[in-house]
Chains A and B, each alone.
Chain A
Amino acid sequence: MTKLFTATSAMTLCIASAAMAEAPSKADVLDTYANIAEAKYDDSLIAAKILQTAVNALIADPSDATLNQARAAWIAARVPYQQTEVYRFGNAIVDDWEGKVNAWPLDEGLIDYVDAAYGGPTDENEFAALNVIANPSFELSGETIDASEITPELLGETLHEADGIEANVATGYHAIEFLLWGQDLNGHGAGAGNRPYTDYVQGDACTGGNCDRRSQYLSAATDLLVSDLEWMAAQWQQGGEARAALLTNEDAGVAAILTGMGSLSYGEQAGERMRLGLMLNDPEEEHDCFADNTHNSHYYDGLGIQNVYLGSYTRIDGTPVSGASLSDLVIATDPSLDTEMQAKLATTMQALGRIKSTAEAGFAYDQMLEAGNAGGEALIMGGVNGLVDQTKTIERIVSTLELDQIEFEGSDSLDNPNAVFQ
């Protein structure tokens, strides 16, 4: 009896101390969040530099081998970058910049040759089929543009979002993806884009025309990606602007973490990127459509949400980065809510993992999107449902941590009604 009593008391004590886990300071939670951002953007930069080297090798010596190496480097570069997407919506500095590196969807005919079925200019976009690689000079909003040399400046400052249209994506990962893979003309069938390496061969063996300008474009876009990532990585270093903005107000900082998690989960990933494509049954309505890498794109987006919540990220060289987390903060207020959040994040990762493993086994994301493909629909809706469901719990955390009113202050149009006129 005594023994039993002791054991029970010990258990009670144990439970009690777990329940009363000391809350980490919000400053420490934000510090971890910023450290993870710094590591993720630095990893993205490292991977982009590897891509740059591979692209230079492709341009110097076009072959199946150098093209495949560049493609492999692009796919690897997506792994850390997609995990940064959770930083977008909560941090204005990231959101304002993000369009340069990861804008999607794009009217790729702006950049290079496309299949006849692509069509020409549309109601929405007069420049959908501009093909800057084939045109050293063109009219843009009444101005003659000299594109005789394709430079990072031309792409970033003139061509990107030309005519104020977001689908005019001239820079970033997806522009590079198109230049490495070309259009995926397989519809719902197997196979990704199949651009031949000869699109980069100089002289008579050049295919697709303008191989010199295509090489220039690929090189300029890759250099721009590297410099853009360099800039963002610096913003998260000690003393960087993104870190400073985050730490200005601790409650607003914690709210920013949750805003990023919720906005990416719900409106962006579950809605725009996954469910919409499924409802349209369009094989190219997928995030990494040229490379057929969408399963990874979604998976690492989800992983980024999870590792920000848990305050623990593993760098691309295996180095762990971790510390006081949002999860710790929730445990100290409502342990069962933390359990709920962790379980839902894990459920989502399982669902996104199923999409990834199935795609890697040969059933590509664009095949899953086909009308009437029940298996594909179930896979994608599994991810959508997980993301929608975890958003509900993210909302609960906002309420439980009493960050409700902070959230309202994050909206430009509400804070500053004049902002909408700018």
Chain B
Amino acid sequence: MRTIPFVTALLLPLTAMAQDRGPILDDVTQSHILPRFAQLAEATQQLKAAAEAECAADAPGLRDAYHAAFDDWISASHLRFGPTETGDRAFAIAFWPDTKGFTPKALSQLIAADTGLDDPDAFAQTSIAGRGFFALEQMLYDPAFAATGEAEQRCAVIRAITTDINRNADAIAEDWQSYALVLTQPGADSPYRSDEEALQELFKALSAGLQFTSETRLGRPLGTFDRPRPNRAEARRSGRALRHVELSLVALRDLAARLSVDHPDIATSLDAGFNKAITRAQKLEDPVLAGVATPQGRLRVEALQQEINDLRAIVATELGPTLGISAGFNSLDGD
């Protein structure tokens, strides 16, 4: 009798043996997700403090804190599920792309308005276009806003935005303390009915993250050969477009490594692909991707995009099937 479980185990196909997903869920949650949101909460706290200390658009302390906190957001920005989606938090932290120019309009209104800026609850009710890092970027780096309205009013807008970013980052980090259990202990009462569904969420974060970096971060400024769109590069005013590509790839490499840990062949090819793409990004030396407007520069950005698409192909056709996970739907579906 006692030998039966052992025999059964032997009879199980190898793939099924390899599909114990619990450890991966734990590892990604503990080592990839939680530290990122803890770091974001910390950095946005410092950003808020910097704006309190000195709020001039060109204050070095404020600008440094802006860059540091924005880095930490980009490194976590692929994790768009659960706590980031409650109360539109992630949308309010980073509204981009802004295809219809809502952000400058919203900021003009905020500068002109003289109420509600010192009330975080009221500010949280305003349009996402006037909140978050991309609104802050225009306040700090767009000459149009350096001269709009009174300095005192601009300062109030900057402080309202940094306070709001920190509030959302804190709320996300706090909710993740309990959501960690939701993700790692799927079941009938959880939004994730099984390990497979929880793992699919992480897999989607990886594939959608790569898709966003390829199609949006690079694809928008690339435009077409005849009509490149350098002005559509992400956060170009503060010179961060390429940096976002690199930061996102570094974060996604870490996630990919954790998801592929049981499959060394796939892990190796993913790691090689990420290293290639990250190295290429580092060598571009084109912080705002202005090169898309020249034939030579364009070719180099396209080559980087192709390497990211190669990674997407490995993720979709090798990693997904091996983990037994389907692609699912993401927010980039549709137009």
Contacts and interface: CB of A to CB of B under 8 A. Distances in A.
Contact of A279 (B127, B215, B224, B317): B127
B128 interface: yes
Interface stretch (B59-67, B149-157, B322-330): B322-330
A347 to B, nearest CB: 16
Contacts, number: 118
Nearest to A99: B335
A320 interface: no
27 contacts: A89-B333, A89-B334, A122-B101, A124-B232, A164-B223, A164-B224, A262-B333, A265-B329, A266-B329, A266-B331, A267-B330, A272-B334, A275-B88, A280-B129, A371-B126, A395-B200, A395-B326, A396-B193, A399-B326, A404-B321, A404-B325, A405-B326, A407-B326, A407-B327, A408-B320, A408-B327, A411-B316
Given A123-B101, A167-B99, A399-B196, A268 B312 contact: no
A372 B127 CA distance: 10
A421 B312 CA distance: 16
Residue among B99, B197, B215, B328 with the highest chain A CB neighbour number at 10 A: B328
Contacts of A267: 329-334
Contacts of A414: 309, 312-313, 316-317
Contacts of B191: 392
B302 interface: yes
Interface of A: 89, 105, 122-124, 141, 163-164, 166-167, 262-269, 271-272, 275-276, 279-282, 371-372, 391-392, 394-396, 398-399, 403-405, 407-408, 411, 413-414, 417, 420-421
A48 to B, nearest CB: 22
Interface string B43-76: 0000000000000000000000000000000000
B128 A280 contact: yes
B127 A371 contact: yes
B334 A105 contact: no
Contacts of A421: 302
A124 B99 contact: yes
Interface in B96-146: 99-102, 125-129
A141 B232 CA distance: 18
B275 interface: no
Overall SS of chain A's interface = helix
Residue among B224, B306, B334 with the highest chain A CB neighbour number at 10 A: B334
Contacts of A264: 334
A279 B90 CA distance: 11
B335 A268 contact: yes
B6 to A, nearest CB: 30
A413 to B, nearest CB: 6
Contact of B334 (A263, A395, A403, A405): A263
B100 A124 contact: yes
A281 B332 contact: no
A343 to B, nearest CB: 15
B100 A105 contact: yes
B179 interface: no
Contacts of A163: 227
Contacts of A124: 99-101, 232
Residue among B99, B193, B219, B302 with the highest chain A CB neighbour number at 10 A: B99
Interface of B: 88, 91-92, 95, 99-102, 125-129, 191, 193, 196-197, 200, 214-215, 219, 223-224, 226-227, 231-232, 302, 305-306, 309-310, 312-313, 316-317, 320-321, 324-335
Contacts of B215: 413
A411 B326 CA distance: 13
B128 A279 contact: yes
Nearest to B104: A123
A263 B102 contact: no
Contact of B102 (A164, A282, A417): A282
Contacts of A408: 316-317, 320-321, 327
Contacts of B127: 279-282, 371
A268 to B, nearest CB: 3
A420 B125 contact: no
Given A266-B331, A372-B125, 13 more contacts: A123-B101, A262-B328, A262-B329, A263-B333, A275-B91, A279-B91, A391-B329, A404-B325, A405-B321, A413-B309, A414-B312, A414-B316, A421-B302
Nearest to B126: A371
Residue among B95, B100, B215 with the highest chain A CB neighbour number at 10 A: B100
Nearest to B231: A123
Contacts of B232: 124
Contact of A404 (B126, B223, B320): B320
A413 B305 CA distance: 11
Nearest to A271: B331
Contacts of B223: 164
Contacts of B193: 396
A88 to B, nearest CB: 9
Nearest to A411: B316
A280 B99 CA distance: 12
A105 B99 CA distance: 10
Given A266-B331, A279-B92, A371-B126, A417 B100 contact: no
B329 A395 contact: yes
A162 B128 CA distance: 29
A265 B328 CA distance: 12
B171 to A, nearest CB: 16
B79 to A, nearest CB: 17
Contacts of B333: 89, 262-263, 266-268
Residue among A391, A398, A421 with the highest chain B CB neighbour number at 10 A: A421
A266 B80 CA distance: 14
A417 B321 contact: no
Contacts of B306: 417, 420
Contacts of A122: 100-101
B276 to A, nearest CB: 14
A19 B325 CA distance: 27
Given A399-B196, A404-B325, A417-B310, A266 B99 contact: no
A417 B317 CA distance: 13
Given A280-B128, A395-B326, A272 B313 contact: no
B73 to A, nearest CB: 17
A235 to B, nearest CB: 21
A421 B225 CA distance: 9
